Homo-oligomer: A and B are copies of this chain.
């Protein structure tokens, strides 16, 4: 049940924080009406939060015919988040505030390449002691993650089956979230572009281990039964090839030998498969892999398979930025929802 006083307080706090951050500033009446929480309760929380320095009074509103209302802003520096990217060749980190503004970036030698968890721990220790306001840690990894535990990360056996979330939450007493890089990217896209939160998105990329996809269905990350969801390499296509083979090898027979780009066909076919199965709202491609022109050709080619009215939007985005944004938004969610006091 969610009726204990503590969970109530937590919920009210996150609603107030979310609204203040989203709308930049608010009065008590606005909060009360929007959040459907009574005025006295809002008033009590606001007083407490102002005392803690979590929110700041920014003066009085223009009068709307009566007494002028006090307007409050969230203090974005009240809490900070730390996002860490474990990539093959490098390990970067970013410190950001509740608005997603970056306070510091940095890197350490690749935790994955060195196969050394201790390196990561030391990095976090240093950052956390430099920035005592850090209240959440988001870690992105190129592998499958199950509730903070790294489930499958080919090539980096030291990290296989490691409960990163459990370990660091114990170690630092700070909420931790761990997420797969593609899932973080698709979440980042969703947040960044203001996608409605129950839509379905697919983020396509071609990684070093072959192409793959990050999936959001009805707004939720899809991991699959054996964390195999999004492994679109394996989708069977024409000519007894799967998607990866078709992409790499090109056509094996003459029909489309004169296709300008032999990758168009497998991609369009994959778009059709995705549409016929999950009918997503948008499919996102990486900006270093396609351009607007190719996108349009793909769209046309896909409508060979699927009635055009059902085809998703095909868009292009910046993968690294989405990834960053996704990790940040996971971290900010922890700040907003998990920090209680």
Q: Mark A residues whose CB is within 8 Å of B.
A: 1-4, 8, 11-12, 15, 35-37, 199-200, 213, 215, 217-218, 220, 222-240, 242-243, 255, 269, 272-281, 305-306, 309-310, 312
Complex interface: chain B residues within 8 A of A312 (CB): 225
Q: How far is the CA of A232 from the CA of B305 in the complex (A)?
A: 11
B-chain residues with CB within 8 Å of residue A35 when the two chains form the complex: 1
Report the bound CA distance from A11 to B12 in whole Å.
Answer: 18
Decide if A277 touches B277 in the complex (CB within 8 Å).
Answer: yes
Q: What are 18 A-B residue pairs whose CB atoms fall within 8 Å in the complex?
A: A1-B15, A3-B37, A199-B225, A215-B277, A217-B217, A217-B222, A217-B278, A222-B279, A223-B279, A224-B280, A226-B279, A226-B310, A231-B276, A231-B279, A235-B277, A238-B238, A273-B277, A278-B278
Residues in chain B near residue A228, CB distance under 8 A: 275-276, 279, 306, 310
Using CB atoms, name the residue of chain B closest to A281. B225
A239 vs B237: C-alpha distance when bound (angstroms): 9
Identify the closest chain B residue to A309 (Cβ).
Answer: B226
- Nearest-Cβ distance from residue A40 to partner chain B, whole angstroms: 13
B1 and A278 form a contact (CB under 8 A): no
Which residue on B lies nearest to A313, using beta carbons? B225
B residues near A36, Cβ cutoff 8 Å: 1, 4
Measured CA separation A219–B215 after assembly (Å): 15
Minimum CB–CB distance for A202 against chain B, Å: 9
Report the Cα distance A205→B280, complex, angstroms: 22
A11 and chain B: residue at smallest CB distance? B1
Contact B37 A215 (CB under 8 A): no
